[in-house]
Structure 1
């Protein structure tokens, strides 16, 4: 695993900095890695309680697997230098939005447009 820059434990990205600078990328990488570690820990705990045939657990397993993929995709985007940019417009997603949801892939405007379109056409994802 790549060595990310050492961040102060009190560092929080701000809108006043250069967007997606090394410190911000390190911050989000750490946050995403913690999310991934927590999911994997939950999986291990769940495996002790549930069998694979437990249909009640299937939805949880699928949701968790999907979330893990999204986290891995976000970590890959950090490596590629494209993390933090809207998949629809290429615009900045924004620091505050990413702090609230590090897995956001769309800026607010594009997300709203997609949701409006989804509602108009009544499309399920």
Structure 2
């Protein structure tokens, strides 16, 4: 899919349920939000590396932090790619709309609430670690 047309959002724009789902405005809003999240993570990495956090093998807590950030960066990049492909905002399990309110709360959500609940229930029943 080709790049989305660039539009200028007003500073106070917030997506609402009353708009067309995943309209250009909504996609631009979430794209900017995700890019901001990515920039913040990269800033934190730079700050940590400047104080030597990444080069310390003594604390496994640092390794866990580094791994969590790396995983979060990947999820953000995947979400940005979904925006380009036109699949952002749709449940990976059912294809249904995830919902604007859920995405505003968690722009990295990949499942609608019903599918997320089903997966969590299944995980508890089978005690699987995903």
TM-score of the aligned structures, taking structure 1 as reference length: 0.95
Runs (5+) with no aligned partner, structure 2 = none
2:127 to 97, 104, 122: 122
Does residue 111 (structure 1) correspond to residue 113 (structure 2)? The answer is: no
Quote the Cα distance in structure 2 between the aligned partners of 1:90 and 1:5: 27
- Cα shift at 1:110: 0.1
- Aligned pairs (5 A) from 1:1-125: 4-49=6-51, 50=53, 51-54=55-58, 55-125=60-130
Runs (5+) with no aligned partner, structure 1 = none
- Runs of 4+ that moved beyond 2 A: 1-4, 52-56
| Matched residue count | 125
Quote the Cα distance in structure 1 between the aligned partners of 2:22 and 2:4: 17
Segment drifting more, 46-55 vs 17-26: 46-55
Quote the Cα distance in structure 2 between the aligned partners of 1:3 and 1:52: 44
Quote the Cα distance in structure 2 between the aligned partners of 1:106 and 1:52: 36
